[in-house]
Amino acid sequence: MEDNTTHHYISSFFLVGIPGLQDFHCWMGIPVCLLFSLTMLGNSIIIITIKLEPSLHQPMYFFLCMLAMNDMALASSTAPKMLGIFWLDAHWIDFDICLAQLYFIHTFCIIESAFLVAMAFDRYVAICIPLRYTTILTIPMVIKMGLVSVTRGILMVLPCPLLIKRLPYYTKYIINHAYCEHMAIVKLASANTHINRAYGISVALSVMVLDLGLIATSYLKILQVVFRLSSQHARSKALGTCAAHVCTILVSYTPALFSFLTHRIGKKVPPSVHIIFASLYLLVPPTVNPLVYGIKTKQIRDRVIGLFFLNKKISEN
């Protein structure tokens, strides 16, 4: 008991950034700033375009709007602090603010995964049971699916900061990361962290296994139906409606899986490589998603072009 009284709980953490590459932080801030700017611009355009175009008021595009808003929130919870580290040497972060960042980052990641599942279900209904599409995916159902996705993320991540809050932090305060990541913070605790580690891994695995399983099942059903179609044009058209969603899934889950595996079993992977991939996982998908849907979806592409060239056409007339 006497020994405990000599310790003082730390009140803030020191975020290193990219370990071993501190001399290049100034240059690393440039792509981070570019990705953040493109994320905010691209997703804003997607949301505005869907809002202004009545023909896009369909479940598929409502889910896309949800994804775009979540992407903007995810990037906003990560990029500003990273830019502060890279450009302003603002490495220190308050303990509670760090836990808040941890909570929002992981919550938005789980919500994003749930939205991808909802979009896969949308494509399954549209292709496999098209005659029931309008009766199954009604506006109230879309809203309920969105609320369930958000609620799941909020509740699943909530125990993480609460479990960390009960741990003592006495001497270790340096986080070898560019943002407040769950396991990076847990490792600094001056106590047994088996519960924290077990819960963190169980959440990550359950989300990945469940969501990837549901997405894979949806697309297996879709492929079964598509390859039964006699017309090559019909097959191409059906698969074409899924192209953007498949690209989004690959962009979202590939760096996530790499980051998860290297953090837990990739002992020989340099910390800088792991942290760069972990950062890309948070910054690249929100940037790429609006580009993918803007290019692959004709309705969105045509409407965006119309918005940008509207003033030019008016002036020419």
What are the start-end ranges of the H helices in the chain? 2-5, 25-52, 59-88, 95-128, 133-136, 139-157, 159-165, 182-186, 194-226, 232-264, 271-296, 298-316
Q: For residue 261, which amino acid is it?
A: L
Q: For residues 132 and 271, what is the distance between their CA atoms, to the nearest angstrom?
A: 50
- Whether residue 161 is contained in a domain is answered as yes
Q: pLDDT tens digits, residue range 198-238?
A: 998 899 889 988 998 999 898 888 888 887 777 777 677 66
Note whether residue 106 is domain-resident: yes
Show the tokens assigned to 30. 């440039």
Name the CA radius of gyration of the chain, rounded.
22
Residue 7 lies inside a defined structural domain of this protein: no
Examine residue 57 and state whether it is found in any structural domain, yes or no. yes
The reply to whether 79 falls in a domain is yes
Residue at 6 is within a domain:
no
- Indicate the pLDDT class of residue 8, thresholds 50, 70 and 90: low
pLDDT value at 148 more than 90: yes
Mean pLDDT of the chain: 85
Handedness of CA 29, 200, 252, 308 (dihedral sign): negative
- Alpha-carbon distance of 305 to 22, in angstroms, equals 42
Number of independent structural domains in the chain? 1
Work out the pLDDT band at 263, boundaries 50, 70, 90.
low
Q: Look up the domain containing 75 and give its range.
A: 12-315
With a cut of 80, say whether residue 314 has pLDDT above it: no
Confirm whether 183 is domain-assigned: yes
With CA atoms as reference, report the closest residue to 262 among 247, 281, 288, 246: 281
What is the pLDDT, as a whole number, of residue 59? 92
| Contacts (Cβ under 8 Å, ≥6 apart) of 255 | 277, 278, 280, 281, 284, 285
- The CATH number assigned to the domain holding 252 equals 1.20.1070.10
Q: Tell whether 206 is covered by a domain.
A: yes
What is the spatial distance between Cα 17 and Cα 59, in angstroms, rounded to a whole number?
Answer: 40
Question: pLDDT for 170-206, tens place per residue?
Answer: 888 898 889 998 888 998 888 888 999 999 889 988 9
pLDDT of residue 22: 84
Q: How far apart are CA 138 and CA 131, in angstroms?
A: 13
% the chain with pLDDT above 90? 41
Question: Does residue 4 surpass a pLDDT of 70?
Answer: no
Question: Which strands, in side-by-side order, build the sheet including 12-15?
Answer: 92-94, 12-15, 174-175
| Residue 189 burial class via C-beta count within 10 angstroms: exposed 0-12, middle 13-18, buried 19 and up | middle
The model's pTM:
0.88
Q: How confident is the model at residue 78 (pLDDT cuts 50, 70, 90)?
A: very high
So what's the pLDDT on residue 169? 86
